[in-house]
Amino acid sequence: MEISVADLARLVDGIVVGNSNTTLRAVSKIEEATEGSLAFLANPDYEPFIYETQASAVLVQQDFSPRENLPKSLTLIRVEDPYSAFARILNWAQKEKKHPAGIHASSVVSTNSEIGEGCYIGPLVIIEDGAKIGSHCQIHGRVSIGKNCSIGDNCIIHPNVTIMDESVIGNECIIQPGAIIGSDGFGFAPNGNNDYLKVPQIGNVRIGNRCEIGAATTIDRATMGSTVIEDGVKLDNQIQVAHNVSIGQNTVIAAQTGIAGSTSIGENCMIGGQVGFAGHLTIASGVKIAAQSGVTKSIQEADSVWQGTPALPIKDYQSQQITLRKLIRSLVLQRLEQLEKQSNVSK
């Protein structure tokens, strides 16, 4: 990364206060920044750092007013939202670091596959028959892409990802290391002999545009039809998405959540970490579920907030917890009174 303050300000519609010709070569946390780096100030708790930072430039809110003298060499870039602007800059910097187009000599690419222009195919990648890769994708080392898969334009597939046969991935998706897309769903039928017969999983996985799949996350193929991840969905690390699940657009799900088969989650939901969903449920759009909750029934009320196991509307859960604490306190006080009476009697 090497860019002038003036050019960077144009990227984020910022207003420069200071030296617009300063060259920036790195991005850093405000408390760790050094000369030549860019930092941002979004949380007021970090304001004390701006008065001693070594950064050459800091993104601040448009109405930021220093309470102390700033370092003389510091340039401010005033923006509407420093955190959002910093994210845009990081995305720009990431794109600048793209690998040059080409296919590494150690990769195995089927002659019956299609690779779009400007793609980087890293070492030991396997691309099987019928696979189609869009333009300007980055496929990093040891990625395996199965038969008849389709991957859109401008995707980044990080090392050791496995994408199984027939999977479909849209444009501008990011798949983090070790994710598995299209593994068999967990389908077994009792055969009457204290044993189970495997049910073949003949469906696929469909992932929309601008999705991100976290490291070591698994998305199972459908038994029939498709497991569907709609546009803009963001899945954290180590999430399990079972067969025939559907997740609506722009929903975000934190780490270690597990979603059992055939559950449907609506649009714009926010799911905390370690949430468990039973199978065959329907979750309305806009629902928020607190971390470590267990969802055992469908949630029909859009934009509602739930917590606990089994999950309850947030106000009901909080009322339940208050009542429980009062009950425990009452029982403890009763027991202390009993012990005090017994002590007095023994005297």
How far apart CA 259 and CA 240 sit, in angstroms, is 6
Rounded CA separation 74/158 (Å)? 37
* Those residues with Cβ within 8 angstroms of residue 235's Cβ, 6 or more apart along the chain or in another chain: 211, 212, 213, 214, 217, 229, 241, 247, 253
Q: What pLDDT score does 340 carry?
A: 74
| Nearest of 61, 55, 15 to residue 39 by alpha carbon | 55
H or E, element range at 201:
none
Percent of the chain whose pLDDT exceeds 90: 83
84-97 pLDDT tens trace: 999 999 888 877 67
Measured distance CA(182)–CA(207) in Å, rounded = 11
Start-to-end Cα distance in the chain: 81
What token pair was written down for 347?
Answer: 């005297």
Q: For residues 189 and 207, is the Cβ–Cβ distance under 8 A?
A: no
Hey, what amino acid is at 221? Answer: R
Contact criterion met (CB below 8 Å) for 246 and 265: yes
Q: How many CB atoms neighbour CB 138 within 10 A?
A: 20
Residues 126/106, Cβ–Cβ less than 8 Å: no
User: What pLDDT, on the 0 to 100 scale, is given for residue 58?
Assistant: 95
**pLDDT tier at 336, thresholds 50, 70, 90:** confident
Q: What does the chain come to in residues?
A: 347
Instruction: Tokens for 230, please give them.
Output: 């709609």
Q: In this structure, are residues 159 and 176 in contact, taking their beta carbons and an 8 Å threshold?
A: no
Q: Each residue of 95-119: pLDDT tens digit?
A: 767 788 999 999 999 999 999 999 9
Q: How many whole angstroms separate alpha carbon 223 and alpha carbon 217? A: 19
Beta bridge partners of 188: 198
Residue 328, judged by CB atoms within 10 A of its CB (0-12, 13-18, 19+), counts as: exposed
Q: 3-state DSSP call for residue 277?
A: strand
Q: How many CA atoms does the CB half-sphere of 172 hold within 13 Å?
A: 9
What tens digit of pLDDT does each residue of 216-226 get? 999 999 999 99
Q: How far is CA 77 from the centre of its chain?
A: 28
Question: Quick check: 242 and 217 in contact, CB under 8 A?
Answer: no
Residue pLDDT, tens place only, 19-39: 999 999 999 999 999 999 999
> pTM of the predicted model, to two decimals?
0.82
- Dihedral of CA atoms 236, 240, 245, 251 in degrees, nearest 10, equals -10
* Whether the predicted pLDDT of 1 surpasses 80: no
Q: Please write the tens of the pLDDT for every residue from 136-153.
A: 999 999 999 999 999 999
Report the b/e string of 297-326 with b at 16+ CB within 10 A: eebeeeebbbbbeebeebeebeeeeeeeee
Spatial separation of the C-alpha atoms in residues 179 and 241, rounded to whole Å: 11
Active-site residue, selected from the candidate residues 136, 140, 243, 280: 243
CA distance 285 to 271: 12
Q: Where are the alpha helices (DSSP H) in 172-305?
A: none
Our answer to whether residue 243 is catalytic in this structure is yes
Cα–chain-centroid distance for residue 87? 14
Pairing between β-strand 240-241 and β-strand 258-259 as defined by DSSP bridges = parallel
For the chain, the C-alpha Rg in angstroms (whole number) is 27
